[in-house]
Structure 1
Amino acid sequence: MEDFEKKVSITESVEARGLSDSSKIVHLLRRFLAIQQSRAEAYAKLKGGFAEYMDSGAELAYQQLCSEITVEFNDCSKQVLEIESLFLNPDSCRVDLAQLLRDVQAQEKQKLHLTATIQVLKKAGRPSDRPVSHDNCKYKKPMEHECVHVHEITEASGTEEAEADAEYDNALKEAIRGVQDAVTAINEHIEEVRYEIAALEAE
């Protein structure tokens, strides 16, 4: 019901103003920029919440934040899809702008996926830095145990650990680079939207 009300509100706010075609398009583009601003604020919240989680280890608060942010991102996507469909209407017939919004949506999806990947990797930590669990160790006396982790460091085990660390480092770098690429693409599209607004307002 809430989604329907939002859809109606976007459509009605454009129609109720009795705006000219170019003014309607400017209104929709400004609405899109406002949605992008909401996304940026949600990312800032997510980043801050993750940093707090890494410091405190408060898993429940972090999971709650992730749920809230997911709802916010879904809401933003639905609103952008609604604007996109309005650009495809015979009234507007701005397939170019609909495609631009679709491209932003694709980059936002990639950015979110890779942001989650980065957080999962950072949460796990480098393989060589991960804490050791003594659950599988043998206990001969109450306070004395034979640690299964104590073993002779061989060239093979050292190589295996180094390879695991290198794989982790590469995965993290790749995800970070992917987020940076997505952000660059999104910013370029937002610039195009601003140019379009300026051009329409100059008419």
Structure 2
Amino acid sequence: MYKKWYVFNGDKPIQAVVKNYTKDDFQALIDVQKESFPPPFPPELWWNEEQLKEHVKRFPQGALCVEIEGEIAGSITGLMIDFDPSQPEHTWSEITDDGYIRNHNPAGNAIYIVDICVKPTYRKLGLGKWLMQSMYEVVVNERLERLLGGARMPFYHKYENDISAQEYLNHIMEGGIWDPVVTFLLHCGRTPVQVLPNYIEDEESCNYAALMEWKNPFLNREA
């Protein structure tokens, strides 16, 4: 993939580029991770070079980054899985092979988002939404059924003693609570499927995540 368009910083248009990342981008991608996920996010969950090598080897179509004026400002990574809606339970570690994606299934029916991140200084440009849209385009191009991913719920720790994780998600959907990750993904067109317990070691989310999907709207038409 390689596409150019304009994003806006106030009224000023700035050219952005989404492309498949390569070995030359590895250090910049690791730097993006460090800035995007500061403590208490576990540092061992930042990308390392071996993981990135596997991404570009196993599924280069799902290894995307966005550049602003030649600087990598964010990335999104996915792998193909064979998803069974009747058995949705999983952990991040299981479904992503701890981020190495060596379990990538070229015959799968869905893309699973391993990670999406944008440097804080670039977030006002809406790059996260554009990265997600680009991965939807990969889903359509590969003729897959859907895109899936576990969404952190980083504000849940504020409510843990009062409501369950499912109730927290319900409140988000009713408009009573704003969550920086779940609400962002709703704006991107993702839909909640269910709450996943023990999804990832994440103090802010109390280890919960919301499984959220986007279904390919073109499959029925093509059929």
TM-score range, shorter chain: under 0.3
Higher fraction of strand: 2
Q: Which has the larger Rg?
A: 1
Higher fraction of helix: 1
Relative contact order, higher structure (CA 8 A, sep 6+): 1
